[in-house]
Amino acid sequence: MVKNFESNVQYIKYLVNKEVAKRFFNGTSDDPREIAEVIIPGPKALFRCCIYKERHIIEERVHLVMEPTKDDRIINVLDSACDECPIDRFVVTEACRGCLGHKCQEVCPRNAITIVNHRSYINQELCIECGRCKQVCPFNAISEVKRPCIRACSVGAVKMDENRKAIIDHEKCISCGACVYQCPFGAIVDKSFMMDMLNLLKNSWNNTSYHVYALVAPAVSSQFPGVKTGQVYSAIMQLGFYDVVEAAVGADMVSAFEAKEFAETVGEKGWKTSSCCPAFVDYVEKNYPQFKDHISTAVSPMIAAARAIKAKDPKARIVFIGPCTAKKVEIKQESLKGAVEVVLTFEELQAIFDAREIDLLSLEERDGGFASSFGRNFARTGGVAESVKRTVEVSGLDVEWKPIRCNGIEECIKAMKMASFGKLDANFIEGMACKHGCTGGAASLLHDAKGIELINRYSKEAVTDNPLDILEKYDMEQVNMERHAHEE
């Protein structure tokens, strides 16, 4: 059981998920008001102004878990939880010298800047936060303070409405979940499919109607410190799954496909990108549609492994368990539908374990199908590039391999800009939207950089360092490894 949470936001999410799951298992009332009173017993408020505000927010959270919104939008704003962040983004500081040029006043498109006692003053009622005044100030006298959610979103998808409530521009959003993780009030949430997973297990009638497989991201090795990964797999089996499979198996499949594709196409394209991170792929397709054909056509490890499982077992139903909110979007894409039924996050998995009162440390270890050390390293920054390089070597492909490893979406943005200018000093872009890679995913339990060390340790336990060895266990002719770009 996780005793320490990174924030109260994560803790509240955990309490809601745990209570809902517990009542599902016990067959007791799932009334949101009743659940809210259990979590916020009173009489004193725990986090906000009063227990009534807290309970109202909890009720809305319960509603979102029990009955997720019907659209395909994964990242949404919980209006009642938004603090409206009363922050003035641009403010004139004491450094203002009252210069004669008044450049700040001249560039303001809304006439929001006036000169009072030889000092600039910004009328916040008129300011549209364009930042032009800050850019031209010769003394750097205008400070900028961004709201946490806006600061977290490197693609500019989080904005404010007229009431200063956060809103999501879904045309720009890549569902990476950075805003979900960074919002200090928990007002931005990722859609939960926890109930879909629980019902999928329940309706399988102990896996007699169909077989429910848990496909687990290799980042799991960084999520339960002190617990062996094999014990986590055993705990997952106790929830009622038919089998547990490492998604790293799919990573080995992707490495083989990408290595071959890279060797065949890089001469023509000049450079290629990885395709395992759906948030990165979404960013490229939305912002650089002219470079869609530079993205690897390989599916993600999740899709590859799921298709491989279903090729072996026609009765299979797949639940992917990982740290990624963007995966919830990926499984809905037209060309990928049907591979994975449900995406569950590590946050939700922990809550379900505790709702069932499973003691992970008391369990025997079990394997997840055995992936290569390089496949497991897909969970961290640099892992994809290392794995494809290794596959190029063992395959005897004669091609120059010069990758750039992007640690987080900001580095991805820089790399794509360089590529668009024709100044990319590399021929392969490994794009990871989250810092440290998947181990730093928005729905991770832990975001500590130590996760990389845990992943490296887990990878060293692999039975082989050759990704091609894993493919021998599957009939790859039956596995469709290609993805398609989004439709315009």
What's the chain's average pLDDT? 93
Judged against a pLDDT cut of 70, whether residue 201 lies above it is answered with yes
Q: Is the pLDDT of residue 188 over 60?
A: yes
User: Is the pLDDT reported for residue 479 higher than 80?
Assistant: yes
pLDDT tens digits, one per residue of 14-26: 999 999 999 999 9
Helix (H) or strand (E) holding 159: strand 158-160
11 Cβ neighbours under 8 A, 6+ residues apart: 5
Give 298's DSSP letter.
B
Q: What is the pTM of this model?
A: 0.91
Query: Would the pLDDT of 450 be above 50?
Result: yes
pLDDT mean over 115-125: 92
User: Mean pLDDT throughout 63-91?
Assistant: 86
Q: Which pLDDT tens digit goes with each residue over 406-448?
A: 999 999 999 999 999 999 999 999 999 999 999 999 999 999 8
For 128-138, b where at least 16 C-beta lie within 10 A, e where not — what string? eeeebbbebbe
How many Cα atoms within 13 Å fall on the side-chain side of residue 318?
27
Give the residue, 488 or 360, on which the prediction is more confident.
360
| β partners of residue 243 | 213
Where residue 129 falls (left for φ over 0; alpha for ψ -120 to 50; beta otherwise) is left
pLDDT of amino acid 44: 85
- Using pLDDT thresholds of 50, 70 and 90, give the confidence band for residue 487: very low
pLDDT at 160: 84
- Does residue 488 surpass a pLDDT of 80? no
Averaged pLDDT for residues 196-207: 97
Query: Would you state the pLDDT for residue 385?
Result: 96
pLDDT recorded at residue 362: 96
Residue 2 pLDDT > 60: no
Per-residue pLDDT tens over the stretch 324-373 = 999 999 999 999 999 999 999 999 999 999 999 999 999 999 999 889 99
According to the model, what pLDDT value does residue 29 have? Answer: 85
Kindly compute the dihedral angle of the four CA atoms of residues 433, 434, 439, 442, in this order, to the nearest 10 degrees: -110
Dihedral sign computed on CA atoms, order 378, 384, 386, 389? positive
Banded model confidence at residue 3, pLDDT cuts 50, 70, 90:
low
255-289 confidence digits (pLDDT tens): 999 999 999 999 999 999 999 999 999 999 999 99
Q: What is the DSSP letter of 135?
A: H
Residue 111 backbone zone (phi > 0: left; psi -120 to 50: alpha; other: beta)? left
> Comparing 41-45, 133-137, 197-201, 228-232, which segment has the lowest mean pLDDT?
41-45
